[in-house]
Structure 1
Amino acid sequence: MTRVISSLSQISLNYDAVFCDLWGCLHNGKVPYPAAIKALQDYRRAGGRVVLMTNAPRPNQYIIAQLDRMGVPRDAWDLVVSSGDAAQDAMFAGAVGRKVWHIGTEKDDGFFSDIPSEWNDAPEVIRVPLEQADGIVATGPFDELNEAPEDYRMRFKQALDRGLKLLCANPDVVVDMGETRIYCAGALAEFYEEMGGKSLYFGKPHPPIYERARQLLNLPANARYLAIGDGINTDVRGAQQEGIDCLFVTGGLAAENFGNDVENPDAEMLQEWLTIHMMNPEYSIGRLR
């Protein structure tokens, strides 16, 4: 049974590092949460390491720039690791070929143009129309405010007929941008699989993003990690699969399931919901604080 806590400080001394999600935990896509920032600052001052781990489909320098614009202070974190980092490695390694059809917006152009130094000598990856593509790279819908996966059925049918694989740069299905819920690349990848296609994933809950975080932290083999997040199928599932403890933030994507007080989830409703989803995070909290 999950233990509902009121602050990170109640358990933080048990862990050497935390893998903290962004959307729904540290910010809402528009503004940061002051209490969450303070919790991470306090944890770092006590000697802990903070990795901001996000399924955003962009290389980490773009995530850092976004955090700076929002006003998230740099003393709240040590490292930023994105799904975009891990997915980039796979793309430049040729996971879906060298000619790709890109589903996404201009804000994700850096996924293709900012080539990591270790891939400078790799063959070029170029974006082409679907009819010319060897594979698909999805960073999100073309119009994230208005499109749904069903809008891609005809184009995905063409891709299936040609046996194309889809590289998903963001396994999130939905996120909340302020008060607006939008579809992510994960929703497209799942829909493609439902139609019979093959999708490749590199962010949470899949191993590559955790491997990258551990490598960059370079902590001893017996280091203790805590995952913090509001995604039951990304943050919680990923922690469970990695064998690390998890602090589930109930006031994010699933907040409506736990009562009227977003800061204080109803314990019985929470446990029933977790049982239905067959997940058992060690801890839960209304909002990260």
Structure 2
Amino acid sequence: MLRRILLSVFMVTVMGRGSALQYASDMCNWKGSGLTHEPHKKEVEQVYLRCSEGSVEWLYPTGALIVNLFPNTLSSVSEHLTVCIKPFKDSKGSNIYLEKTGELKMLVRDEENLPHKVYCFSQEQGLLFVEATPQLDISRKITGFQYELISQRTLSDLHAISDPCRPCSDTEILLAVCISDFVVKGSIKEVTSDLEQQESIISVSINRLYRQKSKIFQPSQQQLGWEGQIRTPLECGVQAGLGEFLFTGRMHFGEPRLGCAPRDRDFRRIYLEAKSNGLNPCEINTD
């Protein structure tokens, strides 16, 4: 309660003095500096971004930022959105909160963020309030993070973010084939561990490419077909195995994340049953 009162007083005082409005030149990424502030004034800057993904980089943080994120298409304005942020590896100098009606909820504590950690929240939970922590020397402090706006439909249909280790239901598999950023059929060549990021890197050999985004899979130099890598949390315990799989997933902070990955024979059975009952949400060639 005390924190809420102090924040309200802080915001009113700052707004009375005139807070800074910061608009990104490309509307996706913002980069600013606390050196533009007078050290004794705790100014609040309003940052407005209108993209589905981008970044915020705050050099020598002092005072606070309120980061306003909006979708970049009119059709998405009415959707319920989930916001995900991924702090830069060396992000320091600020606490990141969710702010709603003057009340703060801690999201990322200064210098306690893990390099692989992604923080997601509903847009209805509030705005991002980035508050600089007291520093004797701010010359080497940079607060930064990437962000993504994700529709609730995509988040629920593709649980690569919300619940990545849970097996997909038949309905989720069928939907994943329709809306995933990539849909490919192939086998697992090997699985390696990225301990720093706490992720498994799945190297796959692809013999059928249905759809892909951002050229995840490239023509193989050793054999016919395609090859590439997909990431998933280490805790999911993915292991190399025999047989063919249908790999689906989405791009998340520039990296392909595994979504549903049924064995190909299981997918064919699920799809053909749905098709015979007129329940398949989209068409795909299973021959």
Report if TM-score (shorter chain) is over 0.5.
no
Q: TM-score range by the shorter chain?
A: under 0.3
If you compute each CA radius of gyration, which structure gives the higher value, 1 or 2?
A: 2
Structure with more strand by fraction: 2
TM-score by length of 1: 0.24
TM-score by length of 2: 0.24
Structure with more helix by fraction: 1
